[in-house]
Structure 1
Amino acid sequence: MLRLGSPRRRINIGLIGMTFVLSIFAGRLIQMQGLESKVYAAAAADQRQHTETIPAKRGSITDVHGNELAVTVEAREVSIDPTKVPAAVRAGAAKLLAQQLGKDEREIAAKLSRTGTHYQLLARDVDPVVATRLLQAPIPALAAKKTYRRLYPAGDLAGSLIGFVGDEGSGLGGMEQAKNSLLAGRDGKKRVETGRDGQQIPMTSSERTAPEDGQDVRLTIDRDIQWAAQKSIGDQVRKSGAESGTVIVMDVRTAQIVAMANAPELDLNNWRKAPQSHYVNKAAADVFEPGSTNKVITAAAALEAGEVTPDTVFQVPDRIRCTDQVLRDAHAHKTESMTFRQAMAQSSNVATVMAARKVGSERLHRMLTAFGFGSTPGGGVPGAEAGLLPDYKKWSGSQNCTVAYGQGVSVTALQMASVYQTIANGGVKIEPRIVAGTKDATGRFVPAPPGKQTKVVSETTAREISTMLESAVGEEGTGQLAAIDGYRVAGKTGTANRYDARLGRYDGYTASFVGFAPADDPRLVVLSVLQNPKNGHFGGQLAAPVFKDVMTFAIKSMKIPPTGSAAPQVRMRAGQ
Structure 2
Amino acid sequence: MLRLGNPRRRIGIGLMAMTFVLSIFAGRLVQLQGLDSKVYTAEAAKQRVQGEKLPARRGSITDVNGHELALTLEAREVFVDPSEVSADQRDRVATILAKELGTPKEPIAAKLAQSTSRYQQLAAAVDPVLAQRIMAYDLKGVGSKHRYRRDYPGGDLAGTLLGFVGTDGTGLAGLESTYDKLLAGSDGEQVIETGARGQRIPMTRSTVRAPVEGRDVRLTIDRDVQWAAQKAIGEQVRATGARTGSAIVMDVRTGRVIAMANAPELDLRNWMDSPGADRVNRSVTDVFEPGSTNKVITAAAALESGAVRPESLFTVADEIRCADRVLKDSHPHPTERLTFSGIVATSSNVGTILATQKIGDEKLHSMLQRFGFGAKPGTGLPGEEAGLLPDWKSWSGSQRCTISYGQGVSVTALQTASVYQTIANGGVRVTPQIVAGTTGENGAFTPSPPGKRTRVVGERTAREVATMLEAAVSEEGTGNLAAIDGYRVAGKTGTAMRYDTRCQGYCGYTATFVGFAPADKPRLVVLAVLQDPQEGHYGGEIAAPVFKKVMTFALKSGKIPPTGTRPSPVRIRAGE
Q: TM-score, normalised by structure 1?
A: 0.98
Query: In 1, distance between residues paired with 2:476 and 2:41?
Result: 92
* Cα distance, 1:228–1:338 mapped onto 2, change above 3 Å: same
Query: In 1, distance between residues paired with 2:409 and 2:303?
Result: 21
Bigger shift: 126-135 or 504-513?
126-135
Question: What does 1:161-200 align with in structure 2 at a 5 Å threshold?
Answer: 161-200=161-200
CA contact (8 A) 1:381 1:433 kept: no
Amino acid at match of 1:170: T
Query: In 1, distance between residues paired with 2:499 and 2:35?
Result: 80
Query: In 1, distance between residues paired with 2:103 and 2:569?
Result: 70
- How big is the shift at 1:39? 4.4
Counterpart in 1 of 2:498?
Answer: 498
CA contact (8 A) 1:497 1:508 kept: yes
Alignment partner of 1:79: what SS? strand
1:359 aligns with 2:353: no
Bigger shift: 151-160 or 371-380?
371-380
Query: In 1, distance between residues paired with 2:381 and 2:220?
Result: 11
- How big is the shift at 1:27? 2.5
What stretches of structure 1 move > 4 A for 4+ residues in a row? 1-4
Counterpart in 2 of 1:21?
Answer: 21
Counterpart in 2 of 1:552?
Answer: 552
Question: What does 1:259-278 align with in structure 2 at a 5 Å threshold?
Answer: 259-278=259-278
- How big is the shift at 1:190? 2.2
Question: What does 1:475-486 align with in structure 2 at a 5 Å threshold?
Answer: 475-486=475-486
Counterpart in 1 of 2:301?
Answer: 301
Counterpart in 1 of 2:457?
Answer: 457
Query: In 1, distance between residues paired with 2:4 and 2:286?
Result: 106
Counterpart in 2 of 1:243?
Answer: 243
Amino acid at match of 2:438: T
Bigger shift: 159-168 or 371-380?
371-380
- How big is the shift at 1:163? 0.2
Counterpart in 1 of 2:222?
Answer: 222
- How big is the shift at 1:40? 3.4
Question: What does 1:417-496 align with in structure 2 at a 5 Å threshold?
Answer: 417-496=417-496
Alignment partner of 2:358: what SS? helix
Counterpart in 1 of 2:97?
Answer: 97
Query: In 2, distance between residues paired with 1:96 and 1:441?
Result: 43
Query: In 1, distance between residues paired with 2:9 and 2:391?
Result: 109
* Cα distance, 1:46–1:120 mapped onto 2, change above 3 Å: closer
CA contact (8 A) 1:78 1:143 kept: yes
Amino acid at match of 1:561: P
Amino acid at match of 1:337: R
Counterpart in 2 of 1:375?
Answer: 375
CA contact (8 A) 1:51 1:191 kept: yes
* Cα distance, 1:88–1:517 mapped onto 2, change above 3 Å: same
- How big is the shift at 1:54? 1.4
Counterpart in 2 of 1:72?
Answer: 72
Query: In 2, distance between residues paired with 1:4 and 1:529?
Result: 117
- How big is the shift at 1:359? 1.1
Bigger shift: 204-213 or 357-366?
204-213
Q: TM-score, normalised by structure 2?
A: 0.98
Q: CA RMSD in A?
A: 1.3
- How big is the shift at 1:50? 2.9
Amino acid at match of 1:546: V
Query: In 2, distance between residues paired with 1:501 and 1:540?
Result: 26
Amino acid at match of 2:33: Q
Query: In 2, distance between residues paired with 1:250 and 1:425?
Result: 11
- How big is the shift at 1:8? 4.2
Q: Gaps spanning 5+ residues in structure 2: where?
A: none
Alignment partner of 1:374: what SS? coil
CA contact (8 A) 1:214 1:440 kept: no
CA contact (8 A) 1:171 1:177 kept: yes
Query: In 1, distance between residues paired with 2:554 and 2:382?
Result: 24
For residues 212-239 of structure 1, give each alpha carbon's deviation from its aligned partner in whole angstroms, at most 9, with x where no partner exists.
Answer: 1110000000000000000000110111
- How big is the shift at 1:189? 2.0
Q: How many matched pairs?
A: 576
Counterpart in 2 of 1:148?
Answer: 148
1:88 aligns with 2:88: yes
* Cα distance, 1:464–1:121 mapped onto 2, change above 3 Å: same
For residues 402-454 of structure 1, give each alpha carbon's deviation from its aligned partner in whole angstroms, at most 9, with x where no partner exists.
Answer: 00000000000000000000000000000000000012353311111000000
For residues 369-410 of structure 1, give each alpha carbon's deviation from its aligned partner in whole angstroms, at most 9, with x where no partner exists.
Answer: 000000011123332110111111111111111000000000
Query: In 2, distance between residues paired with 1:307 and 1:154?
Result: 52
Alignment partner of 2:331: what SS? coil
Alignment partner of 1:571: what SS? coil
* Cα distance, 1:12–1:135 mapped onto 2, change above 3 Å: farther
Query: In 1, distance between residues paired with 2:38 and 2:412?
Result: 67
- How big is the shift at 1:137? 1.4
Counterpart in 2 of 1:349?
Answer: 349
Counterpart in 2 of 1:288?
Answer: 288
Bigger shift: 315-324 or 121-130?
121-130
Query: In 2, distance between residues paired with 1:212 and 1:440?
Result: 12
Query: In 2, distance between residues paired with 1:34 and 1:409?
Result: 79
CA contact (8 A) 1:251 1:524 kept: yes
Counterpart in 1 of 2:63?
Answer: 63
Query: In 1, distance between residues paired with 2:396 and 2:143?
Result: 69
Query: In 1, distance between residues paired with 2:40 and 2:263?
Result: 65
Alignment partner of 2:414: what SS? helix
Alignment partner of 2:96: what SS? helix
CA contact (8 A) 1:379 1:451 kept: no
- How big is the shift at 1:502? 2.7
For residues 48-107 of structure 1, give each alpha carbon's deviation from its aligned partner in whole angstroms, at most 9, with x where no partner exists.
Answer: 223322111100000000111000012111111112211111111111101111211111
Amino acid at match of 2:348: S
Counterpart in 1 of 2:333?
Answer: 333
Counterpart in 2 of 1:113?
Answer: 113
Amino acid at match of 1:555: L
* Cα distance, 1:89–1:47 mapped onto 2, change above 3 Å: closer
- How big is the shift at 1:3? 4.5
Q: Gaps spanning 5+ residues in structure 1: where?
A: none
Alignment partner of 1:75: what SS? strand
Counterpart in 2 of 1:206?
Answer: 206
Query: In 2, distance between residues paired with 1:16 and 1:283?
Result: 91
Counterpart in 2 of 1:9?
Answer: 9
Amino acid at match of 2:415: Q
Bigger shift: 393-402 or 204-213?
204-213
Percent of aligned pairs with the same amino acid: 64
CA contact (8 A) 1:97 1:134 kept: yes
- How big is the shift at 1:36? 4.6
Query: In 1, distance between residues paired with 2:199 and 2:282?
Result: 51
- How big is the shift at 1:307? 0.8
Counterpart in 1 of 2:531?
Answer: 531
